[in-house]
Amino acid sequence: MMEIAVAAVGGTERTGQSQMAEAVEHSIRSGEHLAVQAGTGTGKSLAYLVPAIRHAVAEETTVIVSTATIALQRQLVDRDLPRLATALTDALGRAPKFAILKGRRNYLCLNRVDGGAPEEPDEGALFDPFAASALERQVKRLREWSSETETGDRDELVPGVTDQAWRQVSVTAKECLGAHRCPVGTDCFAERARAEAGRADVVVTNHALLAIDALDDRPILPEHDVVMVDEAHDLVDRVTSAATGELTAGSVKLAARRCGRAIDQEIADRLDEAGEGLDAVLQDAQPRRLEELPRDLGGALAATRDAAAACVTALGPERKEDVEGSTARKLALALTEDVHDTAVRVLEAFDEEDDRRRDVVWVAADPNRPPTVRVAPLGVGGLLRERLFGQRTTVLTSATLALGGSFDTLARQWGLPPEQRARKAEGAATDKEVPSDDGGPKWTGLDVGSPFEHQRSGILYIARHLPQPGRDGLPPQYLDELTELVRAAGGRTLGLFSSMRAARQASEELRQRLDTPVLCQGEDSTALLVTKFADDPRTSLFGTLSLWQGVDVPGQSLQLVVMDRIPFPRPDDPLASARQKAVSEHGGNGFLTIAGTHAALLLAQGAGRLLRSIDDRGVIAVLDPRLATARYGGFLRASLPPFWTTHDPEVVRGALRRLDAAAS
């Protein structure tokens, strides 16, 4: 069946793809979880989709495919699955069905569009006529779009709108009236998407919804027995984000405003006053991880908790109200319960002794956002082990899973034991092993390699002669080295920096030194910048995190990838520092386990930007000498593809000049 599938997409069979497909098939049959590292160009999506479709059709069940990015979702739904559905129809006896499913907030709510709830401008828009006018124009456009769209899916709206505008016409699952009570429930986009997913053999979703489905006792996804997790290197971060709660004074006061439309104003005013108190405390609070709960913050949170509880009680059980009243009550209840539960969670986080805490709490002050209290799980391995691996056969795949040459690094974060192969029980009627309490979930790791000959196609250059990176921007030697590399390459450079400050510094400096264009992330939409970069081989593009993982530019426009430093998390990153401390307190190497894993993943992802097609050639240049000199350097280098390695700047510049001449 793989032969039919490969022919349908105009490809050629590859050894790694066939090995992966066989392993996925065995995993589905045996119930043994599987982690597969498959390099760019392997064709891994077909390798898991074909066995998944065959299983779903044969067993009349549903298989879930979860991704981290919208781009991969679109590739699967718009390209891969339609072609496979057509190609495999004869072999399967019927056309397989597929669907995409997202969280309810991603779909337009027709009840809100029809005026089923009052609009809620943010506090800035209340006092800024320009902001209010812009919001009004966007909401008007959304109302017009609601009569044209077939899906109501936000991602299909181009150009998009702000989050604030989208919130006026959408609801969360908790805010939804329910199809049976909603006056436009029969036309609901979200319900229609869920119904379509319920009839599908393969449902494509995202890691966040997969996590919410695992966290919530009310299932969101259709009943399923197999999950394919693509872009699995991002699973822990996405699940952590889904399990993170946050509280701002603005959210408390918005809850109070919503309650004021549905309950006695005096009770709602108590919540508003609690929001004012929280605001006063947070304005004076320093952004940091909280080892202990400050008395003033604890008091503000307790007042918020109690006032929110009083509002929830006053809102009472569901009543037979008019639609507008019922919608207003539901919107108030959902947000107020969230405020209450988050305040409780933060307060309870400090009830345990320091070494037994399961949640991390910190005060954040992000640019252009109000001060925020955040609470996140110290780890998500237990959740994944119990709610994902403990209930469904799971295949995890990515181009970067074997960090330091082993799957165990990520397996620990997923809640899996050290790698082990499952043995078939004697006399078992199927390939599934007899259940056992011994050793945790059974899983196997498989690296099917890459069709690219890394040692012949790429060079890893580590600038061992440079000083260690400092904290005060890029040292002059780094800018000199970067200039010479980009000049030798004739442009064609993707610069991946550890901070926007460094990316801007490098952009400004090199624009003065070079006669080739340099684009910097933030100067336009990232998608438009990437398009400009791809269209002009002489152009360079500098940026930060999203470029490390999100750029796919095959060909001669990208022949040099430069990384300014090893991308360790910031020392003051609250979650990473707490996790590092917890590992160290239990006798492990906290730095390597947490910071090292984070850096290895990003380095591997960044290096993966270079070779995107079989004919690509180029250089990965790391300016940070610690990759060659530090004790942990071996672990990090083992996480990268096996490029030919050099520390000689003349050798690498010569190679870049030859590539430039050949391309020109």
pLDDT at 224: 94
Low-confidence ranges of the chain (pLDDT < 50): 124-127, 421-431, 434-437
pLDDT at 527: 85
Which residues sit opposite 562 in a β-bridge?
Answer: 495, 621
Query: What's the CATH architecture for 1-97+200-231+399-422+437-447?
Result: 3-Layer(aba) Sandwich (3.40)
pLDDT at 655: 97
* Distance from the Cα of residue 293 to its chain's centroid: 30
Length of the chain: 664
Which residues sit opposite 372 in a β-bridge?
Answer: 364
CA–CA gap between residue 547 and residue 549 (Å, rounded): 5
Q: At what angle do helices 295-315 and 265-284 cross, to 10 degrees?
A: 160
pLDDT at 136: 86
pLDDT at 439: 61
CA–CA gap between residue 118 and residue 329 (Å, rounded): 12
* Cβ count within 10 A of residue 13: 14
CA–CA gap between residue 574 and residue 288 (Å, rounded): 7
pLDDT at 437: 47
Amino acid at position 654, single letter: G
- Spatial strand order of the sheet with 540-543 comes to 518-520, 540-543, 493-496, 560-563, 618-622, 458-462, 644-646
Amino acid at position 503, single letter: A
pLDDT at 41: 86
Residues 323 and 184: beta-carbon distance below 8 Å:
no
CA–CA gap between residue 115 and residue 159 (Å, rounded): 24
Determine how β-strand 98-100 pairs with β-strand 202-206. parallel
pLDDT digits (tens, 9 = 90+) for 618-659: 999 999 999 999 999 999 999 999 999 999 999 999 999 999
Question: Token digits for 34?
Answer: 């599987």
Q: Do domains 1-97+200-231+399-422+437-447 and 454-663 have the same CATH topology?
A: yes
pLDDT digits (tens, 9 = 90+) for 375-426: 999 999 999 999 999 999 999 999 999 999 899 999 999 999 987 543 433 3
pLDDT at 423: 40
Query: What's the CATH architecture for 454-663?
Result: 3-Layer(aba) Sandwich (3.40)
Residues 310 and 336: beta-carbon distance below 8 Å:
no
> Hey, where are the domains in the chain?
1-97+200-231+399-422+437-447, 104-190, 246-371, 454-663
- Spatial strand order of the sheet with 202-206 comes to 98-100, 202-206, 63-67, 226-229, 393-398, 33-37, 443-447
CA–CA gap between residue 203 and residue 208 (Å, rounded): 14
Which residues sit opposite 66 in a β-bridge?
Answer: 205, 229
Amino acid at position 553, single letter: V
Distances (CA, A) of 529 to 39, 194, 356, 506, 519: 26, 35, 46, 17, 7
